[in-house]
Amino acid sequence: MEILDLRHFSSVDLRPLLDDETRVWASLLSWDYNGSAEMILRYVDAKILPGYAAIERGRIFGYSFFVYEGSKGVVGDLFVANGGRLPNAPEVEIRLLTHVIETLQQSPGIHRVEAQLLTHETGSVARPFLDQGFQRHPRLFMVLGLHSGVPRAPAAHPDVEIRRWTEADYQPAAAVITAAYRGHVDAQINDQYHTLSGSLRFLNNIVLFPGCGLFDTESSYAAVDRKAKNLIGLILCSRVRGDVGHVTQVCVLPEYRSRGIGESLLAATSVNLRKRGFSMLSLTVTEANAGAVALYRRLNFDSKRVFDAFVWEG
């Protein structure tokens, strides 16, 4: 087995592996990975996707890629064909990741590396990250079936209006996100939350790129203080499969918490999706974010998987 630069290959070489990966995302997470796969293949053909491929008898059977975002490197994905069924798959995963981590840590100007590997069980690919000084944050992938148990919106809060998300909400939303995640464990995992410009980039990524599904305006909501008329909370939802929604962001300003606004936002999204025939709503949450985990459990979200987020600061 050889590990080679991904830029030696074309979409023709990589497509069978991505077809395999699309099946894995569908069965583990109920995500339609086709949009992401097509984007990856376009980048591969343009020879602009940095990463590595595992090759045996001329065939790619594993790959991992990463992207540069300013002074940060983000591990985009890791996939080895047949997952656990291939006897040496775990070893191939470790070798691919070791190459990616070394490359990123040695890239001039890169001071931070982040990775979230949703299809990999917590701990299963941790070794190369921990060996290189990364922090590990276990995260839960949770789902809510929409045919049963959709949360009912709690009694409307008299001072707060929950209304449909609009284009005009982007700028104020960046400010709400920055304030909501100050000192929060998720700001250690994603440094975009640290600044207004970072939070705007985060919003842009969600809305413009299909990496996390297609942004769904209809099931995204804003919480507004009726008197002050300012945005105080939000929920953003993307369509990750024809009938599956995924919450990409939910937050409420600290001074407005514990009044049922978070619950109302989640209820608004669930009710909207259910009306439109969606069967499921998913989200990810950091295990250490105990309040949010408790809220989701109370609303009948079920924990389906535990995966890891890794962060390194040089």
Contact 139, 126 (CB under 8 A): no
Q: Nearest distance from residue 27's CB to ligand COA, in Å?
A: 24
Does 294 bind ligand COA (CB under 6 A)? Our answer is yes
Give the per-residue contact string, 71-100, with ligand COA (x = CB under 6 A; - = no).
Answer: ------------------------------
Does 49 bind ligand COA (CB under 6 A)? Our answer is no
Strands 280-286 and 244-252: parallel
Does 252 bind ligand COA (CB under 6 A)? Our answer is yes
Contact 130, 291 (CB under 8 A): no
Give CA–CA dist 232/5, Å, rounded. 46
Contact 222, 163 (CB under 8 A): yes
Q: Nearest distance from residue 262's CB to ligand COA, in Å?
A: 2
Give CA–CA dist 190/113, Å, rounded. 10
Q: Nearest distance from residue 295's CB to ligand COA, in Å?
A: 4
Which member of 259, 275, 313, 314 binds ligand COA (CB under 6 A)? Answer: 259
Q: Which stretch binds ligand COA (CB under 6 A): 2-10, 108-116, 160-168, 258-266?
A: 258-266
Reading the block at residue 258, the tokens are 């514990």
Give CA–CA dist 307/129, Å, rounded. 14
Which member of 14, 263, 274, 281 binds ligand COA (CB under 6 A)? Answer: 263
Give the per-residue contact string, 202-241, with ligand COA (x = CB under 6 A; - = no).
Answer: ----------------------------------------
Give CA–CA dist 234/220, Å, rounded. 8
Does 285 bind ligand COA (CB under 6 A)? Our answer is yes
Place of tokens 């996707």: 49
Looking at residue 213, the DSSP 8-state letter turns out to be B
Residues in contact with ligand COA by the rule CB under 6 A: 180-181, 184, 250-252, 257-263, 285, 289, 291-292, 294-295
